[in-house]
């Protein structure tokens, strides 16, 4: 059978089966729903190391050990957070206003899964969708079909054993662009959760269905002079975040901007933490390795180790290098390393003064990163307040970007789907959770005489 026809048929079959399972699941006691969610999380936890290796083997992207940690962040962290929230039944009531709110499932969730995070994203979306009482069909990237189906196999088997309707959790085993499009626009699909590249996000919003989608992240990291005594810690945070899973997380830092008073020491601290500063010629060759042209990342270079990228660019780096750095003075596609890079590559900029540093950081965010995240390292509350006008949905203070943005080192909601707001065409700037996958019904009693309207507005 033609690949597109096979994928379209799979999408239709899964959507119909998911809808039937959703109808059977509707009205399930929230305590039983919670038990199913916890059982799925418990089943995934001991599999995370194997799934991390499998993800790297199939996709060719990232670091297996770091993918294990990403999977655990959801199997433990996200699951722990979900346990403490209410999604179904009475959410709250206000006796004074005589209004109560009730959570109800949306229906069938079509979940688009990125090749950069093929297992952790499925774990997160399945736990969230089921917690909200929904059925879910995952559409992995064609390069991540095996790992996607393996994660869903583990979770759906446990859900079935816990009494969930068969077909509540599914994954397409034949994937093409046309098949994924069919899943999104299918009459049984209620909402789309899209994580991926710009083309995928655009297709999701064009599906005609309510859509939660996220955009690109070009995360600036501004280091203020007030951090002069803490630059080693700042550098360790930046390198740990940017090197994590070889830079496949869109929430990791993309540019470090330092005040002139500390720029020299910041460079040295980054080097001591594992950064290699490229020469201008090396940086130009590196840009040609990472990008195939204007606004086009080379997909074969995503999530690759720094030594692999350096070898492809024709230069050598010291052992144990974690991140490659290019010094830049201008922002734009004429200097492509100032754009988002889904690999362990940073740009470094020295500001003229603090105001210029904040301006540079904001400019980085506006260039290919509207709405996502930004980071400031400062001990001056006034500087933080000024920096917080950045056009990003998250402003992270004195934390590594990936650890803070995903809700580990901050009290943001644990999430592997970070909304980018209307800055980049997204419906939300929140950390997306199960609470975004329910309809909220208000039950409102009369609390004033209805006939008074004629006297008050007559």
Q: Which residues contact 224 (CB under 8 A, 6 or more apart)?
A: 259, 354, 357, 376, 377, 378, 379, 380, 383
How far from 20 is each of 111, 168, 223, CA to CA, in Å?
Answer: 18, 8, 53
Closest CA to 307 of 291, 290, 324: 324
Distance from C-alpha of 450 to C-alpha of 452, rounded to nearest angstrom: 5
C-alpha dihedral, 423 to 429 to 431 to 434, nearest 10°: -120
The total of other beta-carbon atoms located within 10 Å of residue 161's CB is 11
How many helices (H) and strands (E) are present in the chain, helices listed first? Answer: 17, 17
How far from 384 is each of 69, 219, 233, CA to CA, in Å?
Answer: 30, 16, 18
Distance from C-alpha of 1 to C-alpha of 130, rounded to nearest angstrom: 33
Helix (H, G, I), strand (E, B) or coil at 300: helix
Contact between 40 and 32 under an 8 Å Cβ cutoff? The reply is no
Q: Which residue of the set 48, 221, 250, 278 is catalytic? A: 250
Distance from C-alpha of 414 to C-alpha of 408, rounded to nearest angstrom: 7
- What's the burial of 126, exposed, middle or buried (CB within 10 Å: 0-12/13-18/19+)? buried
The H or E element containing residue 89 is strand 89-94
Distance from C-alpha of 232 to C-alpha of 318, rounded to nearest angstrom: 20
Distance from C-alpha of 452 to C-alpha of 458, rounded to nearest angstrom: 9
Closest CA to 66 of 139, 116, 124, 128: 116
Distance from C-alpha of 21 to C-alpha of 25, rounded to nearest angstrom: 6
Question: What contacts 24+ positions apart, CB below 8 Å, involve 203-206?
Answer: 203/177, 204/112, 205/425
Whether 14 is a known active-site residue: answer no
Distance from C-alpha of 40 to C-alpha of 38, rounded to nearest angstrom: 5
Positions marked catalytic? 250
């Amino acid at each position: 059978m033609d690949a597109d026809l096979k994928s379209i048929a799979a999408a239709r079959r899964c959507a119909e089966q998911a809808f039937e399972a959703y109808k059977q699941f509707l009205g399930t006691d929230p305590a039983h729903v919670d038990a199913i969610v916890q059982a799925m999380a418990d089943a995934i936890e001991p599999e995370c190391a194997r799934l991390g290796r499998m993800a790297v083997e199939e996709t060719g992207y990232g670091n297996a050990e770091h993918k294990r940690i990403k999977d655990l962040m959801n199997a433990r962290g996200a699951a722990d957070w979900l346990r403490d929230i209410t999604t179904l039944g009475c959410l709250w009531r206000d006796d004074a206003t005589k209004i109560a709110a009730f959570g109800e499932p949306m229906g069938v969730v079509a979940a688009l899964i990125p090749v950069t995070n093929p297992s952790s994203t499925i774990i997160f979306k399945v736990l969230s969708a089921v917690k909200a009482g929904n059925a879910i069909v995952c559409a992995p990237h064609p390069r991540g079909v095996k790992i996607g189906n393996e994660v869903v196999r583990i979770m759906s088997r446990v859900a079935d054993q816990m009494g969930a309707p068969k077909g509540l959790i599914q994954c397409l085993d034949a994937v093409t662009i046309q098949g994924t499009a069919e899943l999104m626009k299918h009459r049984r699909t209620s909402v789309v959760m899209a994580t991926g590249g710009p083309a995928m996000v655009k297709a999701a919003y064009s599906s005609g269905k309510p859509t939660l989608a996220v955009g690109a992240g070009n995360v600036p990291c501004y280091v203020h002079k007030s951090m002069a005594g803490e630059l080693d810690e700042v550098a360790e945070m930046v390198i740990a975040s940017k090197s994590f899973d070889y830079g496949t997380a869109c929430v990791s830092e993309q540019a470090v901007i330092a005040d002139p008073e500390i720029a020299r020491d910041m460079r040295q601290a980054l080097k001591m933490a594992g950064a290699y500063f490229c020469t201008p010629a090396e940086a130009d060759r590196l840009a040609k390795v990472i990008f195939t042209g204007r606004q086009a990342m080379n997909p074969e270079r995503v999530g690759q180790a720094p030594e692999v990228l350096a070898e492809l660019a024709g230069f050598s780096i010291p052992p144990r290098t974690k991140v490659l750095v290019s010094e830049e003075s201008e922002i734009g596609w004429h200097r492509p390393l100032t754009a988002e890079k889904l690999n362990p590559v940073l740009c470094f900029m020295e500001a003229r003064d603090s105001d210029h540093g904040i301006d540079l950081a904001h400019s980085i965010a506006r260039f290919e990163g509207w709405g996502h995240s930004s980071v400031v390292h400062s001990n001056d509350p006034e500087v933080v307040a000024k920096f917080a006008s950045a056009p990003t949905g998250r402003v992270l203070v004195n934390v590594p970007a990936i650890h803070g943005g995903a809700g580990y080192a901050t009290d943001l909601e644990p999430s592997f789907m970070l909304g980018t707001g209307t800055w980049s065409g997204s419906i939300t700037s929140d950390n997306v959770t199960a609470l975004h996958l329910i309809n909220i019904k208000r039950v409102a009693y009369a609390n004033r005489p209805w006939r008074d309207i004629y006297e008050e507005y007559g």
